[in-house]
Amino acid sequence: MNGVHDMGGMHGFASLVVEPNEPVFHEVWEGRVYALVNAVGAWRRWNIDAFRQQQERMPAADYLRASYYERWLFVLIENVVRHGLVTREEVESGRSAPGTPKLTPPLQASMVADLRRRGIPTTRSVERQPRYRPGDAVRTRNIHPLTHTRLPRYARDKRGVIIALHGAHVFPDSNAQFQGENPQPLYTVRFEASALWGDGASSRDTVCLDLWEDYLDTA
Amino acid sequence: MSVDPDHPHTGSHHHDHGQEPPSATALRVKALESLLVEKGLVDPAALDAIIDYYENKVGPRNGVRVVARAWTDTAYKARLLADATAAIAELGYSGSQGEHMVAVENTPALHNIIVCTLCSCYPWAVLGLPPNWYKSAAYRSRVVIEPRAVLREFGLDLPDSVEVRVWDSTAEVRYLVLPERPAGTENMSEDQLAALVTRDAMVGTARVRVP
């Protein structure tokens, strides 16, 4: 979707603020939110793409006002309700509905380090042969889906060159909708800065994006 | 902080000791955690373990070891540039937000810098969780369109002869910048070199300097 989250190239966000030696979490609650998202995620009711899509559905003004972990908190609450782990009434009251059986959490403390070290790879084995090879010129599609996509606005309908193939990866646009992983070739595409930003950009500079085959046409 | 979410006023005694009372967000999170624990959806000890993992076990110190090894072992550097995921795993680092790693090498002619314009994707497995500036709208919006201006705000003024290459992390590939080894470090050990490498140098917003 053409949301405010897709901010590459936007103006008006002012200067950088860099805090020296900042802690991993600035507030205790930030760490709890981070951990809750990961621990509830172990129920596997949603995937990383659906998580991102839910964040993008945050009303634009709220998104910009919220801190990173406030956005995560928003997604966590929306997701536990939407996917039936908790009711809206329980969130509001802070109490489990009477008579609700107590479940057993799928993620135990002893499993955490091992699971983090394993991660969740998104590569898949597929029959589909890659359509492009490094060196091929491509043009990105001019798409404006209402749902999740990882093709940013600033890189749509632009000409670039394939510089790497990463095998087949889960396709976020379908996975976020729970419409299947649709794994397909993922490429790194290099764009001249001037192709993205016009003649004002440095003629030497480049921007690289990782793009799925369904985002690309032969140039 | 031990505040009963049902009795938020009990938080006031913290105030008496010179601390801020818990914010509305802090209370909301506390209430949500209590609910999720009560329902058996999460184990509080697992939450502690996740926080401990990112506060104490994973961080830029991982990436620092990768860079220092690449600077001192040409065969390792070749493996890192060919298959970063495997080379990084050789040093014991792997997993969440580092499942598919690519290392990009800075040279006198090329400066790499990493961003995620769409959310804030970051190579957790080698750098830990990202700093606030990396997640800020200012960084995400600006670095793809005016990378040189952003780099100047970090104190790095690159000549026109250097290509600036921005990597927007739009998929699950995560990037690690292999900075240039500074001149004058020829006699340093791997440990001494590791002490020079910074997080920002591995994101591409700084160069490694000899103090």
- Give the pLDDT band of residue B112 (cuts 50, 70, 90): very high
Q: What is the DSSP string of chain A?
A: ---TT--TT----------TT--S-SSHHHHHHHHHHHHHHTT-SS-HHHHHHHHHTS-HHHHHHS-HHHHHHHHHHHHHHHTTSS-HHHHHH-SPPTTPPP---S--GGGHHHHHHH----EE--SPPPS--TT-EEEE-----SS--SS-GGGTT-EEEEEEEEEEE--HHHHTTTS----EEEEEEEEEHHHHH-TTS-SS-EEEEEEEGGGEEE-
**Which CATH number does the domain housing residue A134 bear?**
2.30.30.50
pTM: 0.94
Cβ contact B36–A86 (<8 Å):
yes
What residues of A are in contact with residue B8 (Cβ under 8 Å)?
A: none
Q: Is residue A152 part of a domain?
A: yes
Q: Is residue A14 part of a domain?
A: no
Q: Is A36 in contact with B43 (CB distance < 8 Å)?
A: no
Q: Verify that A176 and A198 share a domain, yes or no.
A: yes
Contacts of B86 (CB under 8 A, 6+ apart): B79
Q: Is residue A129 part of a domain?
A: yes
Mutate which: B1, B32, B55, B107, vs A, most A CBs within 10 A: B32
Q: Is residue A153 part of a domain?
A: yes
For B143-183, write each residue's pLDDT tens digit.
Answer: 999 999 999 999 999 999 999 999 999 999 999 999 999 99
**Which CATH number does the domain housing residue A110 bear?**
1.10.472.20
pLDDT of residue B14: 38
Distance from the Cα of A114 to chain B's closest Cα (Å) equals 9
Fold of B59-203: Nitrile Hydratase; Chain A (3.90.330)
Query: Which residue did the predictor score with more confidence, A101 or A177?
Result: A177
- Give the pLDDT band of residue A13 (cuts 50, 70, 90): very high
What residues of B are in contact with residue A64 (Cβ under 8 Å)?
A: 137
Domain count for chain A: 2
What residues of B are in contact with residue A62 (Cβ under 8 Å)?
A: none
Q: Verify that A112 and A127 share a domain, yes or no.
A: no
Residue B140 pLDDT > 70: yes
Q: Verify that A127 and A153 share a domain, yes or no.
A: yes
Cβ contact B133–A17 (<8 Å):
yes
pLDDT of residue B21: 82
Q: Verify that A35 and A106 share a domain, yes or no.
A: yes
Share of chain B above pLDDT 90, in %: 89
For B61-104, write each residue's pLDDT tens digit.
Answer: 999 999 999 999 999 999 999 999 999 999 999 999 999 999 99
Q: Verify that A81 and A113 share a domain, yes or no.
A: yes
Q: Verify that A96 and A154 share a domain, yes or no.
A: no
Q: Verify that A128 and A55 share a domain, yes or no.
A: no
> What is the domain range of residue A199?
123-218
Interface ipTM > 0.85: yes
Cβ contact A64–B145 (<8 Å):
no
Q: Is residue A19 part of a domain?
A: no
Q: Is residue A106 part of a domain?
A: yes
Q: Is residue A7 part of a domain?
A: no
Distance from the Cα of B92 to chain A's closest Cα (Å) equals 9
Domain boundary (A72, A99, A118) is at A118
B138 → closest Cβ in A14, A80, A210: A14
Residues of B with a catalytic annotation lie at 116, 119-121
pLDDT of residue B18: 55
Between the CA of residue A199 and those of A205, A214, B145, B199, what are the distances in Å? 12, 29, 12, 33
- Give the pLDDT band of residue A27 (cuts 50, 70, 90): very high
Annotated domain spans of chain B: 23-57, 59-203
Give the single-character DSSP code of B56.
Answer: I
Q: Verify that A112 and A131 share a domain, yes or no.
A: no
Domain boundary (A50, A84, A118) is at A118
B39 → closest Cβ in A64, A102, A206: A102
B142 → closest Cβ in A5, A13, A152: A13
Domain boundary (A85, A101, A118) is at A118
Q: Verify that A128 and A112 share a domain, yes or no.
A: no
Q: Verify that A114 and A127 share a domain, yes or no.
A: no
